[in-house]
A and B are shown apart, each in its own frame.
Chain A
Amino acid sequence: MTLTSPAEDVEVVAAPPQPRRGVSFRDAGPPVALVVIFLVFSALSSDFRTFANVQNIMDTAAVLAVVTVGITFVLMMGSIDLSAPGVMGTSAIAVALLVANNRNDNDLGLIGILVAVLVAAALGCVSGLALVLLKVPSFMTTLGMSAVGLGLATLLFNGVQPNITDETLASWAVDRFLGFSLLTWIAVGCVLVGWLVQRYSRLGRYAFAIGGAEEVLALSGVKVAPYKVAVFTLAAAFYGLAGVMVTSQLSAGLVQAGKGYDFAAITAAVVGGTLLTGGRGGVLHSAVGVLLVTVLTNGLVQVGVSPYWQGGVQGLIVVAAVAAAVLPQRRRNQVTK
């Protein structure tokens, strides 16, 4: 089984048991919701529909987008990954200590960034190995890995906040190209790379296939384990880059750099149409989900919803959006009870 069909992503896997009705509707749901929500907020608030605010939405979405690209690969496999907070914390502190900073004399620049991403990837690799060798469910391994990452970050932090003085890294958050910050362009690049990996590499297609029907893949002679480890490693590399981006935004390495990003990214991916059961969705879906969530957060502030109400209102809209998006796939989703 070579799985080379370049057709519709979803169809790379053995076809789902139900007929193909509603394929276009299913994929169109989240983008349509995005456009609708955007138009509603534009109508409600003149502050919302300014270019400055669109810039702001894109800049705000950047970090979440990178985390979500990573987590999408794990979700496509039908696994879950809660390690983002720990991995991002480790890479945030690591990069802050490796580039020019106020704690030591390091000034590794881009190499420092690369090392931080590699450290993050190593953490993901450990998660993957624990999953395939020790058969620990991904929920537990990645939760554990998150704690390990936070522990590492706290050790490196050592009581004194590392502030960065490195100009390259600082410029990512400040310098603009075509109106958007460099961080936004990095995020766009990540989405593109993620999509290419998903669409054209064996890793991406097998991730889909594992989520769709792991047994079929294994029976056809594919060794699944190395691909699983590779997916967790790839995902963690994205989290690592996201940690570096947070450090750039805040000009400081924070242990809590990734706080909340695990569930925010899972939410964004699911809102975009990536299923928690695996085998469906993808990087582009998730990118739409990220924009949806970000527009929602931004819009609620712009139209002046009281902060005491925002959390609840946002939660309701997300649940409604997911319900609408997955309605055509209810049978697939029943696994999640």
Chain B
Amino acid sequence: MKFTSRPAVVLASLSLAAVALAGCSEEAAGGGNDGGDGDAAAACAPGDVKLVGQVRNESNPYEASWLDGGDAFAEMVDLEQDRLTYDADSTKQQEQISQLLAGDTECLVMNILPNGDSDTPPIVEQAQEAGAYLVTQWNKPADLDVADYDHWVTHLTYNGEESGKQIGDALVEEIGGSGGIIALQGILDTAAAKDRFAGLEASLAENPDVELLDQQTANFSRAEALEVTKTLLAKHGDDIKGIWTANDDMALGALEALKAAGKEGEVAVVGIDAVPDALTAIQDGTMTATVSSDGPWQGGIGLAIGYCVATGELAVEDIPTEDRAWYAEQFLIDADNVADFIDPATDESDFACDNVFSRSQGAIS
């Protein structure tokens, strides 16, 4: 019977510990926030702005570099960025947002990577209601119009069809315009996987001598790509001249499979995302090409746009409609220009308020 109180004690002590921890972070976050609130609600003093960057997890090099870019911008304007991660868990993301918006939201700027399309509307509604400035990236339902909101400043994403075609073309060129290739798709029900594969199909349509021998999904995962590539190598053998993958993690898995089969360097491999290991592989010549969305820039630009609006340097109603939901520029990286991308860095001039939309490739169609 004496055990009955144990769970209660454990729970109580755990919650105490949690409260203590929360207290610490609260203090840290609120540190730079004691400027005067005398200004009108429209514009915040630069020192009052609170910057938040939220991504899935820091164990992903791309998303970690995104947050680093956010830190770089924050440093530029003498602020600090709150780095939030939600482990690719939609519920956790919504909880974090609710918690954030329950605090002081007047000068809050959020640069958010929604977990999926359907996670965006609740985030937008909450931010609009709380009066925080929100920038979202990558995921948004097509029928949700940014222009209907005045606190959802902008949404930016990348044209997956274009990047899929860019690396498709690079692969075709590398194998000399003819031969068999295989494709590793991402998670099949994501827009990114669909668009990128459509890009490959567009590239193949222009190059009838290149045959798509097989296409499988490896769910954007390095380990799955390793297994699938091994299986396809056993199936098609030397007919495979090139491997198209919908992201670099899968490209790296495919490279390991080639290494295990003793075919490293004989088969061309392309991916998307420009993760550090892929850049190294391109430098070593084992991989052909990748596409960069420039993670550090993404982390900085969302905060920069929100900051410009919060401090009154930019007014939401003055932002042209085509800059409210737009495709950002992406860069094809191959052996020729890989050296420029090895050390990702942000350029301060990209974040100047009159320059924040300079990378726009047009409105999302």
Contact = CB atoms under 8 A, between A and B. Distances in A.
Interface string A157-176: 10111010000000001100
Interface string B199-226: 0000000000000001111000111001
The secondary-structure label for the interface of chain A is: helix
B58 A249 contact: no
Contacts of B237: 52
Contacts of A256: 59, 221-223
Among B188, B215, B234, B277, the most chain A Cβ lie within 10 Å of the Cβ of B234
B217 A251 contact: no
Contacts of B15: none
B61 interface: yes
Contacts, number: 92
Interface string A114-145: 00000000000000000000110000000000
B217 A134 contact: no
A244 interface: no
Report, as a range, how many residues of chain A touch the other chain.
35 or more
Nearest to B183: A307
A47 interface: yes
A302 B227 CA distance: 13
Interface string A239-279: 00000001001111011110100000000000000000000
Nearest to A294: B227
Interface stretch (B32-40, B46-54, B127-135, B251-259): B251-259
Closest 9 CB pairs of A and B: A255-B59, A53-B234, A159-B64, A47-B235, A56-B234, A307-B217, A52-B234, A154-B59, A307-B216
Contacts of A47: 234-236
B223 A174 contact: no
A59 interface: yes
Interface of A: 47, 50, 52-53, 55-56, 59-60, 134-135, 153-154, 157, 159-161, 163, 173-174, 181, 246, 249-252, 254-257, 259, 297-298, 301-302, 304, 307-308, 310
Contacts of B57: 154
Contacts of A308: 188
B196 to A, nearest CB: 14
A159 B216 contact: no
Given A153-B59, A154-B59, A307-B217, A135 B3 contact: yes
B231 interface: yes
